[in-house]
Amino acid sequence: MRAVILGGRGAIGGATTDPQRGRHPWLSAHPIVLDTTAATQLGYVPVATGIDLLADEIDWVTAQHVAPSSRVF
């Protein structure tokens, strides 16, 4: 649904052969594990799940950057 709101259509292009393209700090062997045991023991409680926070971010970006006449609700 969010892809429709953002005007997404078509297909994702193929992978590039450039070895430097797409490099980022998280580019490592999988799985990447974030251990939050110590934070939890200190009382940390996550505000939401990652996927819920991502959905909120997409909604915010859409509201800020999509022309009002093209919004689909």
Contacts of 2 by beta carbon, 8 Å cutoff, 6+ apart: 55, 58, 59, 62
Q: Which amino acid is at 19?
A: P
Distances (CA, A) of 21 to 17, 24, 67: 8, 9, 31
Model confidence pLDDT, tens digit, residues 12-41: 666 667 777 777 777 777 777 889 999 999
Model confidence pLDDT, tens digit, residues 60-73: 888 887 665 655 55
